[in-house]
């Protein structure tokens, strides 16, 4: 099967927008969380790395579904922003489950990081399924 120039340009367009949405998500996520995750991750904090990785992966799972289901680039962007909001809400809900969760993550409580990872992935999968 030959790929046309138009198909390749569509691929590049959707991939570029997905990357921009992911970068936007990471920026928002890092700003709304009270700890300096990147600094902590550079210092070897596995809990923060796990939590952030789960949030990014959960978000990307939903982006995949919205990319497959969208009828236009605008529709994809709208669903991508909706996915971003859902994943950020997951973070805030997760902090309600664990008292002082942010401090636990900053103190490298790996169990809390894994819980946040799992919640983010689970909600990302459910969110993606709801789009299909």
pLDDT tens digits, residue range 23-71? 999 999 999 988 898 999 999 999 999 999 999 999 999 999 999 988 8
In a domain, 68, yes or no: yes
What is the model's pLDDT at position 117?
96
In a domain, 8, yes or no: no
What is the model's pTM? 0.88
In a domain, 88, yes or no: yes
What is the model's pLDDT at position 106?
93
Helix axes 46-69, 5-32, angle to 10 degrees: 140
SS3 2: coil
The H-assigned helical ranges of 3-45 are: 5-32, 37-42
Spatial contact of 118 and 53, defined as CB atoms under 8 Å apart: no
Q: What Å distances lie between residue 13 and 10, 88, 95, 98, 113, CA to CA? A: 5, 25, 36, 40, 34
Instruction: Compute the distance between CA of residue 42 and CA of residue 49 in angstroms, rounded to an integer.
Output: 9
> Is 5's pLDDT higher than 90?
no
Q: With cut-offs at 50, 70 and 90, classify the pLDDT of residue 98.
A: confident
Q: Rounded to 5, what percent of the chain is helix, strand, coil?
A: 85, 0, 15
| Mean pLDDT across the chain | 92
What is the model's pLDDT at position 22?
97
Q: What Å distances lie between residue 36 and 2, 124, 130, CA to CA? A: 47, 24, 32
In a domain, 64, yes or no: yes
What is the model's pLDDT at position 35?
82
Domain enclosing residue 75, as ranges: 21-131
In a domain, 43, yes or no: yes
Spatial contact of 117 and 59, defined as CB atoms under 8 Å apart: no
Number of folded domains in the chain?
1
What is the model's pLDDT at position 1?
65
What is the model's pLDDT at position 85?
93
């Amino acid at each position: 099967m030959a790929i046309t120039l138009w198909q390749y340009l569509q691929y590049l367009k959707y991939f570029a927008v997905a990357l921009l949405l992911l970068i936007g998500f990471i920026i928002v996520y890092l700003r709304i969380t009270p700890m300096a995750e990147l600094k902590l991750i550079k210092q070897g904090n596995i809990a923060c790395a796990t939590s952030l990785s789960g949030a990014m992966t959960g978000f990307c799972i939903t982006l995949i579904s919205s990319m497959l289901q969208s009828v236009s680039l605008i529709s994809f962007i709208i669903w991508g922003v909706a996915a971003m909001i859902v994943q950020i809400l997951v973070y805030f809900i997760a902090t309600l489950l664990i008292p002082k969760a942010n401090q636990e993550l900053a103190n490298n409580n790996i169990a809390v990081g894994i819980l946040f990872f799992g919640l983010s992935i689970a909600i990302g999968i459910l969110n993606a399924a709801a789009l299909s």
